[in-house]
Amino acid sequence: MRFNTLQFRVSALVFVFGLLMIGLSTFRQYHHDVQVRLGQMRLQAYREGTRLSSLAQHFFRRHLPRSADLAISYASVDPDLRLGVITDGRDVIRYSTQQQWRGVSLWDCPISVSPHMVGRIKLEPEGLLNENARGDRLTAIFPFVDMSEDLRNGLVVLEYDLSGFVKEAASHAINETMAQACMLLGSCLVFWSLLQLLVTERVSLIVDQTRRIGAEAEVLPPIGGGDDLDTISRSITEATLRLQATEWRFSQIASNMRDVFWVSPALKSEPIYVNNAYERILGRSAARLMTHRWDWLKALAEEDVRPVLRMLRHLRQAPAEMEIVIRVHVGEHLEWLRCRSFSTQRHADAPGVLQVAGTASVVTEEKDMEKRLIESAENERRRIGQDLHDDICQRLAAAQLKSGVLGRSLKRDGHAQAVLAESVAAELAEASEIARGYARGLAPVAVSAQDLPDALDDLRKFLERAFNIRCRVSCEDVSDVVARETAAQLYRISQELATNAAKHGRASWIAISLVHDVDSLRLEVANDGVSFTPDEGTRKKGMGLFMLQQRADALGAKLTYQPRHVAEGGTLAVCEMPLACR
């Protein structure tokens, strides 16, 4: 892991950059040394060639062979001179730094000269310096006049070995490179130590500070130093203190809330957060949620599991706010909870990562109160219906009889108002029938469970007579599974659904059915009118829909609306009530 640290990378980068600079400097120095030494060699070759050519012309004219040998021997002192010769006008070597080449033709010795070079020198008596193709030989050719050979041009040829000083320059460059590399390595080690002392160790302390950020973790002091790292460390310490203060306030609020507060993180590896009210209200262990994220789902009533999962799936897909009322099993009884949930984006740079949070408050007393209010309203409606039947209907019936008697008397006496009296009697009979219908609607004759089929049949007759539509009723015997109040609520739900279909749905037929399953009752009201699927806004605005939902909640039932996918269209309203909730 040390090779992946910033300390190693910076030190390695400095070392590599230093080696690159040393290499470039060495190359430039080597090239400079070679060029300087080559220039010196050229100058030396030119001077020596010029000196020997002038001496050779003098020695040849004076016939001084010993002096010529002495002059050429002085030239051989130069260690870079590989071979030096003096030829006469016939290109025969007369004097040489190596005795074995005396008397040999110039073309037979190992000096690198060509006939073209010699011919050019003899035609243009000027000195010539020439390097071979490999750059390891320097040949200097200088002409002089040989008086003994009819004024032909003799030659002084000096061949220098350049490889010696090239190797010397390379050796010098290598030595300099090694010395500079050692200095660079030492500097990098010092730099490494300084980074370890000033950066790495202090950064490790900052990392330790960061890892200890938490609501209950110990706050480490700043690292000190007064530099940028110290500023970062102080900022982390201050942020940790602010976070702990915020977490403390949050924990105080959450722990003292009467409602359940929960947060479900986006990542499955993170545990669900719940406050103390979770154990108090649901009666389940909060510690178990750390390892079993879905343990709370076991407390839900079976009918509410699917709506809750659907809500959570919707909140996970996009930021939103939703509310749902559910039932949970707490011991041997059911509690009603109103859950308000919302989802938020966890990170600004990760739009797909959402976490869900919310509150759950107990509304069992509120639901019980609604149920009692509905029962009270039902009793009041029944009382008004009975009073209407026993009082108003009887008075209208008596008035009808009296009007009939009066009309017959007037008709027998031939009175002109006999027709008016008979008309009053007919209108009173019609009003009496309407009042009886209202009375039966407010207080149906059959409200007990065993008489519920008769009550629904009366509802069928009312709908056919009032709205002139076909109506069909199918009701199974539920007298052994529902109480009197439950039967009354089922009747009211059927009445409201069927009346809405007739009045607002413009249906031509309505079908009401009540089916008894093993563990539930299923009430269905179907029609062929306008398809209707109420949304949340419609439920809140419509008083009838609101009362329907309240009645269903009072029964612990689930009320749904489904469009009928048939040619004539229409709506199927389903109220499904678990028998355990009756």
Q: pLDDT tens, 143-166?
A: 988 777 666 788 999 999 888 878
What is the tens place of the pLDDT at every residue in 37-55? Answer: 889 889 999 999 999 988 8
φ, ψ for residue 89, nearest 5 deg: -70, -15
Residues with Cβ < 8 Å from 78, sequence gap 6 or more?
A: 44, 48, 160
Please, which residues bridge with residue 261 across strands? Answer: 359
- Would you state the pLDDT for residue 7? 81
What is the tens place of the pLDDT at every residue in 387-402? Answer: 776 677 777 777 777 7
User: What pTM does this model have?
Assistant: 0.50
Q: What is the mean predicted confidence (pLDDT) over 433-452?
A: 65
Which of 113, 162, 163, 110 is closest to 142 using CA atoms?
A: 113
Structure tokens at 365: 């007393």
Q: What is the mean predicted confidence (pLDDT) over 343-364?
A: 77
Q: What is the mean predicted confidence (pLDDT) over 23-45?
A: 89
- Would you state the pLDDT for residue 455? 83
Reported confidence tier of residue 78, pLDDT bands at 50, 70, 90? confident
Q: What percent of the chain has pLDDT over 90?
A: 11
φ, ψ for residue 234, nearest 5 deg: -65, -40
SS3 448: coil
- The three state secondary structure string of 217-260 is CCCCCCCCCCCHHHHHHHHHHHHHHHHHHHHHHHHHHHHCCCCE
Q: What is the mean predicted confidence (pLDDT) over 15-23?
A: 92
Q: What is the mean predicted confidence (pLDDT) over 436-450?
A: 62
Q: What is the enclosing helix (H) or strand (E) of 355?
A: strand 350-362
Q: Which 8-state DSSP code applies to residue 155?
A: E
- Would you state the pLDDT for residue 149? 62
Which of 429, 575, 415, 558 is closest to 495 using CA atoms?
A: 575
C-alpha span between 473 and 461 (Å, rounded): 10
- Would you state the pLDDT for residue 445? 46
Choice among 349-363, 373-387, 395-409, 568-582 with the minimum mean pLDDT = 373-387
What is the tens place of the pLDDT at every residue in 405-435? Answer: 787 787 787 787 778 877 887 887 777 777 7
Q: 257-361 in CATH: which number?
A: 3.30.450.20
- Would you state the pLDDT for residue 539? 52
What is the tens place of the pLDDT at every residue in 91-100? Answer: 898 889 988 8
| Cβ 264 vs Cβ 358: under 8 Å | no
Structure tokens at 24: 């470039």
pLDDT at 175 over 50: yes
Q: What percent of the chain has pLDDT over 70?
A: 91
Reported confidence tier of residue 341, pLDDT bands at 50, 70, 90? very high
CATH architecture of 447-582: 2-Layer Sandwich (3.30)
Using CA atoms of 523, 528, 530, 531 in order, give the dihedral in degrees to the nearest 10: 50
**What residue segments make up the domains of the chain, in order of their start?**
2-168, 216-250, 257-361, 363-443, 447-582
Residues with Cβ < 8 Å from 237, sequence gap 6 or more?
A: 209, 219, 220, 221, 222
Q: What is the mean predicted confidence (pLDDT) over 560-566?
A: 78
Topology (CATH) of 2-168: Beta-Lactamase (3.30.450)
Q: Do domains 2-168 and 447-582 have the same CATH topology?
A: no
What is the tens place of the pLDDT at every residue in 460-494? Answer: 888 888 888 899 999 888 877 787 778 888 888 88
